[in-house]
Structure 1
Amino acid sequence: MALFITYVLLGFSIALPVGTITVEMTKQGLKNGFMHGWIVGLGGMTIDLLLIIGLYFGLASVLSLPVVQVIMWLIGAIFLCYVGYDSIKNADHDIALEGEKKTKTLFSSYKNGLLVAVSPGNLVFWVSVFGTVLASSFDRSNTSQFLIVGLGILLGILIHDLGLMTLVATTRKAMNRTAIKWVTISAGMVLIGFSVYFLYEFVLSIQKIL
């Protein structure tokens, strides 16, 4: 139990810094409420779960290849630019204030979470940080410890997401349509900023290979 709680706290701690998933969760939470923001987080956690499974089967060695990292930086830049542009373009769309009917589907929010999570920053983070943690707990003869560590980390992230969305949902009640629109535009600009950074890393990776 102590081991599980330790990794729950680890998962919670590493989810605290503001990243692309947090930005997208906050944006969707303000525009459409608690469930839409949380569903974005679940989309991100789906990728996290797949990465845990991948690391279990040796994915780290593949993701560490220079050619693969170059591709990941480019794909991440494209995805984040797309999501950021869409945020700005549709900043005044799909805003459902308290009590209004929502036009955006939960699946659409989940898809946004998936797109944002499939980024080099997220993948490299999992390989470098969690890859080391999970590898140290991995034992072919005793897979239960590996599962405890992985589930503990995911539960910590889930607790963070629920807490963040509770705060956003509460704040949202005091905001009007114009305020939410400008927060959405700001979130889109932040995501585009991340995409520019990923593109910069893509160029650096190309130079290293050449």
Structure 2
Amino acid sequence: MFALFFTHVLLGLSIALPVGAVTIEMTKQGLKNGFFHGWFVGLGGMTVDLILITLLYFGFASVLALPAVQTFMWLFGSLSLLYIGIDSIKNADKDIRLGNEKIKKSLKSSYWNGFLVAISPGSVVFWLGVFGTVLTHSFHASEKTGFFAVASGILTGILLHDLIFMSIVAGARKFVNRTFIKWVSTIAGCLLLGFSFFFAYEFFKGINDL
């Protein structure tokens, strides 16, 4: 069982490495407000992962796979990213705290940003793929421990990635100035808008296919 857990910790680390919307938001918040704000973005994203795992375990795989459900998620994700992206660009030069300056932004706000950014059918497709085999046996007692080993291993891997990544960002923060952070926030906002437009495209595509 430990081998199964450790293998999926490595999988969690691997899947967290590619740069996505959550990583972009983590970087922005980490540079602006420090380690914990960036990490709480990651925790918000992990909450979405945990919710999806729970739904899959209790048999909602077929519901999450419905085109109508995924189309709605594309829309919700697009609107969330649109809001956060515009906010990143609009307030690129605001709420930047360096050194011992007091941080005004709440950790709760960073957490919810991560939560909203993480919502997409891509997450559903991933978890369906990862747990596809395990789910077919999830209601057999002998397989429940295996399911939890896989789930906890992947989440642990993602958590480790976030901690290591934010440590690097927090360390780099000591060597940058406000202008640099402003431009990072602006670029992050543009990238999030790009994800938003892609999600919107997938939404309208899904509408046509319904």
Using the size of structure 2 for normalisation, the TM-score is 0.94
Judged with a 3 Å threshold, the aligned counterparts in structure 2 of structure 1 residues 6 and 175 are, in CA distance, closer, same or farther, namely same
Q: What is the match of residue 181 of structure 1?
A: 182
User: How much has 1:30 moved relative to structure 2?
Assistant: 0.5
- Residue 30 of structure 2 corresponds to residue 29 of structure 1: yes
Q: What secondary structure sits across from 1:17 in the alignment?
A: coil
1:78 & 1:92 partners in 2: Cα distance? 23
| Structure 1 runs not aligned, ≥5 long | none
CA deviations on 1:44-95 (whole Å, 9 max, x unpaired) are 1111111111110122201111111111111111111111011111111111
Q: Does 1:91 align with 2:88?
A: no
Query: Which amino acid in the other structure matches residue 140 of structure 2?
Result: R
Letter in 2 for 1:141: A
> How far apart are the structure 1 equivalents of 2:140 and 2:86?
45
Amino acid at match of 1:45: M
Aligned to 2:132: 132
Q: Does the Cα contact within 8 Å between 1:94 and 1:103 map onto a contact in 2?
A: yes
Deviation digits for residues 85-131 of structure 1 (CA, Å, limit 9, x no counterpart) = 1111111111101221111111110111111112233233223x223
Distance verdict in 2 for CA 1:37–1:208, change over 3 Å = same
CA 1:7–1:181 in 2, change beyond 3 Å: closer, same or farther? same
Give the equivalent residue in structure 1 for 2:193: 192
Contact 1:21 1:117 in 2 (8 A): yes
Number of positions where the alignment pairs a residue of Structure 1 with one of Structure 2: 208
CA 1:154–1:140 in 2, change beyond 3 Å: closer, same or farther?
same
Say if 1:134 and 1:150, in contact at 8 Å, map to a contact too: no
Q: Give the letter aligned to residue 90 of structure 1.
A: N
| Local SS of the residue matching 2:161 | helix
Mean Cα deviation higher: 108-117 or 129-138: 129-138
Q: How does 1:3-82 map to 2 (within 5 A)?
A: 3-82=4-83
Q: Distance in 2 between matches of 1:174 and 1:88?
A: 22
Does residue 130 of structure 2 align to residue 150 of structure 1? no
Q: Distance in 2 between matches of 1:124 and 1:95?
A: 36
Residues 137, 145 of structure 1: 8 Å contact kept: no
1:101-120 equivalences under 5 Å are 101-120=102-121
Residue type at the aligned position of 1:125: F
What's 1:162 paired with? 163
Matches of 1:23 and 1:87 in 2, distance apart? 11
CA RMSD of aligned residues (A): 1.3
Matches of 1:158 and 1:125, distance apart in 2: 17
User: How far apart are 1:134 and its partner, in Å?
Assistant: 4.0
Unaligned runs of 5+ in 2: none
Q: 1:2 and 2:3 equivalent? A: yes
Distance in 1 between residues matched to 2:124 and 2:176, nearest whole Å: 34
Deviation at 1:138, TM superposition (A): 3.0
